[in-house]
Structure 1
């Protein structure tokens, strides 16, 4: 099955395969959302089915919950878990300090809550997600529907005084209607190009009435697992200050995941 993957999907797969090595029997695991995180959920499902791994998963979206149940992972709520051993999730961007932009899939609020309720957050990514300065990927912010236009206007006004290169704000759409998050909110995408001070930006933008949360993950990620299309994997641990390289061998006739969809 892996022999049929594109280089980018191979990179996602090997990153996910390496990241699930952080998971041990009996753990409570935060399950991220997105195409890369879906590979991780599938790998954990294989370990549950084939190796007898016993874990409890806390998903960060309804679609992740559906996939987790499909592959045999026991799903519980964060309130039931209370605290998590590790959360594994993807990212839209990461910098050298392992600060992130997340929310391209529209699940940033649950993702941030779950990640901060974990002893460790591991991010899986391909090398294209590495940036010198955050902001090339549009920064999502989750906003409540009430007063949406007023909130957007306040956000646009605030951007004028911030250390960013762009100030275009767009409402995320789902076809002809606004995108709706699992919490019933909307997403504003901020096209900033460059965020000079992500920490300050995160604090300021969250003070705007109507803004629930933003997609900047500052000092939350502990390690990033970077996959490459040739099977190479690089693990950067911000706490230990280490960089390790590994390699995941492909099994060309492997039929894992063939009955699953993102």
Structure 2
């Protein structure tokens, strides 16, 4: 299978986790788009979805799937999203689509996080993919200097404004041996909204599209 076929296969496999009457947390990005398209085929079975970005909300609505505001629902049973990188502890780097803050918020409200990804996203150590950090615009330079102190090489993603009206710094050159420690440290920098490490809230299940099909793995590190 090609990379896109692997993404699509993983996304379709996630449909097996969806039960009747659920409100589904939905991620953002190319793999999440495949999941939205597959979800449309069973839209009569679900109550609706909560989207992690304006782009995902628009795609859901285009399929006729009801989109709820997060404030209108309580804890949800499931969040389905892709990853830019995922390690052996199901910790991830996310935010290539600049939706990391809302992705992290919606994921935190869900009992189960099902990560859907193609085989290229699985890594031993996080950091080859630049780590996105969402920042308040006035704090861009301050945050950049602090990220250099942490060993990174931040680059402003010029022309990109998040759904929250903020900017993105992509941090290159990191080898993230302790993801929880780094996620916590970056989030303590004044002006940081959040960063793209999903280590404090890793995935519960990984559906990995491979050339030979979809491989399911359950995370024994988190319940």
**2:142 pairs with 1:170:** no
Per-residue deviation, residues 29-52 of structure 1 (Å, max 9, x unmatched):
11100000000000001112xxx3
Which structure's CA Rg is the greater one? 1
> Structure 1 residue 9 and structure 2 residue 19: aligned?
no
Out of 105, 112, 117, the position equivalent to 1:120 is 112
Query: TM-score, normalized by length of structure 2?
Result: 0.95
Unaligned runs of 5+ in 1: 1-5, 161-166, 242-262
Asked if 1:233 corresponds to 2:214, the answer is yes
Deviation at 1:151, TM superposition (A): 2.2
Distance 1:131 1:55 in 2: 35
In angstroms, what is the RMSD of aligned CA positions?
1.5
Aligned runs of 1:61-210 on 2, under 5 Å? 61-157=53-149, 159-160=150-151, 167-174=152-159, 179-210=160-191
Q: What 5-or-longer segments of structure 2 have no aligned partner?
A: none
Deviations 1:156-175 (A, max 9, x none): 22x14xxxxxx21100123x
Q: Which runs of 4+ in 1 moved over 3 A?
A: none
Give the corresponding residue for 1:220: 202
- What do the CA deviations read for 1:151-198 (whole angstroms, capped 9, x no partner)? 2122222x14xxxxxx21100123xxxx10000000100113411211
1:184-222 residue CA offsets vs partner (Å, 9 max, x unmatched)? 000100113411211111111111100110111014310
**Matched residue count:** 221
Task: Confirm or deny: 8 A CA contact 1:223 1:236 kept in the other structure.
Answer: yes
Question: C-alpha separation between the residues in 1 aligned to 2:142 and 2:45?
Answer: 49
CA distance in 2, matches of 1:72, 1:30: 16
Matched position secondary structure for 1:74: coil
Q: Report whether the alignment pairs 1:30 with 2:25.
A: yes
Compute the TM-score of the two structures, normalised by the length of structure 1: 0.81
